Chains A and B, each alone.
Chain A
């Protein structure tokens, strides 16, 4: 490295030396940045790659000592075939998809209507309800799983899809995000439609919602990821393996007999795959979703 003391102080530097000095330090910094990032990226991807590697080994090779990358007996898909034969994982994945889609769609209906009313309409009890909704953002709902379970027991909703779905439809933070967005939609557009005799609901559905597509997509992605991966509540409210979502089924039902490292890693890979594939294709949208909605609190 050349010393940069001399050119740095002179401003503006002579044209001949200008590109050299700073660029050298920038280049050195970039090399260091790339090196650090490469180490971090490798460390962060490694657990998943190791799981992938294990999942294609036979159980014998997976638990062989000393631990080696390549299996002595070659790679095999036996763990995956065992999972397909058992049939649990595809079933749970279907349940997860059903629950996550239902939670996302219903939450959007409930949350957009509420946020619109908070943004535009003055109805009795508006202020009290708004304060209560915002305050509830700070309280993790998981605290009250025991009374909630007892309530579900009384309602006969334990071990039902509705039992899994209904408590997941409350998203005060998302209502807050949506309301803030609706606040920015120009009211002149609605006023014109009102003069033309359109109803409030038609204005909401026909003007406000289409204008809010980006924020609604962001909220939808956020809710979907949360619902797809949710563990605690579905775990508590389902005992019947046929109704379990994927994260719950993988935890609650022990696969096979004896040593099952390869099998467990194959399960993990299958369970991880849907969202990873979605992420690879919709990276931009997902990242925008997290950075716009995550900032409001989860």
Chain B
């Protein structure tokens, strides 16, 4: 873009983008963003790399000393780091599947020309507007082993519910349920917008040709939603791997580290143990994974749109 010729294009070339005007003052327009971007995004990234090579400790009085790759060596041998990474991957898998399938199903249902659209949208989307703290407090209350609505309801039909958040074998599933309830509305809206953007004539033509509702769904709607699905999956994976709020608030990573996610482990080592150097090393390992994942998704997207 920077080497575009500055000749003025003919008025007839309406659809082609016009060359940009040389305008050094443009720097003034982007200056506030550049300053913020440099200070609060680029610099922490660079500074974090340096920190990860030191023994910087918030509690210590000594200045940070350069210790090479010792933090990384420690992290790779740290079972809790691996457990947190594993939990993060497991959480991402457990949330992404329902958070793609359910909103798609909900959007297709609401799109069946049902009345009271606002009510369905309100009900399904509303939890998304709640702060994580509110979601966590409500879910902790619902999941209370004795007094919670869920176990009380299960008891009515003769089932003794588990201790949910206090039980290492169920805590992760409880957090996943809370997350699905909380965030399904966002993906639901993305799907609903895409479904409603499909021209009605396509379905009318298909109906005239004798295609049943089911047939139209499989042969028209779902294929046309493929791009949206790819986007929803990509956004969901990026959202799920950085999970922190609801896990921190509902279980604190326990019981027995069964729900500790990687970003929580960064927080724990950095702000509970004050080991900023070690926490930065874990951040960088996490960063590397995110970059690889993003590049993979980017290549997948690029290939999709090329074919």
Contacts and interface: CB of A to CB of B under 8 A. Distances in A.
Nearest to A147: B48
A229 B130 contact: yes
Main DSSP-derived SS at the A contact region = helix
Interface residues of B, number: 104
B181 A138 contact: no
A287 interface: yes
Given A67-B147, A123-B27, A37 B120 contact: yes
A120 B21 contact: yes
Nearest to B132: A231
Most interface-central of B51, B120, B186 (chain A CB within 10 A): B120
A47 B190 CA distance: 24
Contact of A170 (B17, B40, B148): B40
A122 B186 contact: no
B138 A48 contact: yes
Interface residues of A, number: 100
Chain B interface main SS type: helix
A11 interface: yes
A275 B139 CA distance: 19
B249 to A, nearest CB: 6
B290 interface: yes
A122 B20 contact: yes
A290 B186 contact: yes
Interface in A168-221: 169-170, 175, 183, 187, 200
Interface of A: 8-9, 11, 25-26, 29-30, 33-34, 36-37, 40-42, 44-48, 50-51, 54, 62-63, 65-67, 109-111, 113-114, 116-118, 120-127, 129-130, 132-133, 136, 138-151, 166-167, 169-170, 175, 183, 187, 200, 225, 228-229, 231-232, 236, 246-248, 250-251, 261, 264-265, 267-268, 271-272, 275-276, 279-280, 283, 287, 290-291, 294-295, 297-298
Given A44-B126, A147-B283, 19 more contacts: A11-B209, A40-B109, A110-B36, A114-B29, A114-B33, A120-B20, A121-B26, A142-B263, A143-B290, A144-B283, A146-B48, A146-B266, A150-B56, A151-B39, A170-B37, A225-B129, A247-B134, A265-B137, A295-B231
